[in-house]
Amino acid sequence: MMFVAGVPLRFLGKFLGASTVVVLFVIINALYFPADWRISLQEYQRQRLLVFFDKDFAPPNATPAERKAARELQRSRTHNIRQAEISVGSGGLTGKGWGQGPQTRLGYLPRGVAHNDFIFSVIAEETGFLGSIAVLALYTIILLKGMQIAAEARDRLGKLLAVGVVALIFCHVFVNIGMHLRVMPVTGIPLPLLSYGGSSVLSSLIAIAVLQNVQLHKKSY
């Protein structure tokens, strides 16, 4: 959006560079700094980073009892993502069939997360690689159409609205599917238009409506 808004490339490069440094510092601080020196991340946020980078929950000077408790906690925190990975891998080419995925049907992937944060793993297990590619293709069509609408918008406001909607949907799709493949940490971000949840579906539909509105007003009368 900053690029579309006309922000100079020199400033944009500095902003991206500074943002990268800040993100790296937060990650390194959460993983390696002593407890007294850590910035104020919530404990569950730090645990998600530890799970993503496969780091031990227990500090180096932990007692045997503390290490045991930390291992149990780490096992519980990694359960969902491990089961989601198994679901994605077990789908094969064509999947297990609609409603026949054993990971979901037998409760290995908890029902409390299977229909929202981890819906993509259910789709991959039941429809396989082909079904997963079909879902990605549909999202790609939405994103490409959104970029086309942004390019054809008659004013800068329309371009910014369209690009903002496309960026919002793309980031949600990338983060949600990325956490199933272990390229992103678990964040609880839903998959647009597919994850269960009234607010998520409503916001996605409103975003699509904004895109359609920009397209309707692309011509000046």
Cβ burial of 160 (10 Å; 0-12, 13-18, 19+) is: middle
Q: Domain residue spans in the chain?
A: 42-216
Sequential DSSP letters for the chain = -TTTTT--HHHHHHHHHHHHHHHHHHHHHHHHS-GGG-----HHHHHHHHHHTT--SS-TT--HHHHHHHHHHHHHHHHHHHHHHHHHHHTTTT-S-TT--HHHHTTSS-HHHHTTTTHHHHHHHHHHHHHHHHHHHHHHHHHHHHHHHHHH-SSHHHHHHHHHHHHHHHHHHHHHHHHHTTSS----PPPTTTSS-HHHHHHHHHHHHHHHHHHHTSS--
Closest CA to 142 of 122, 121, 168: 168
> Hey, what are 145's tokens?
């159409």
pLDDT of residue 15: 82
pLDDT of residue 138: 93
| Measured CA distances, 184 to 49, 85, 159, 177 (Å) | 10, 13, 29, 8
> Hey, what are 161's tokens?
């609205």
pLDDT digits (tens, 9 = 90+) for 15-59: 889 989 988 888 887 777 766 667 777 777 788 888 888 788 777
User: What is the rounded distance in angstroms from the CA atom of residue 80 to the CA atom of residue 48?
Assistant: 12
Residue 185 near residue 45 (C-beta atoms within 8 A): no
The pTM score is: 0.78
Kindly give, in sequence order, each residue whose CB lies less than 8 Å from that of residue 84, ignoring residues fewer than 6 positions away.
109, 118, 121, 179, 180
Low-confidence ranges of the chain (pLDDT < 50): 221
> Hey, what are 101's tokens?
């995925």
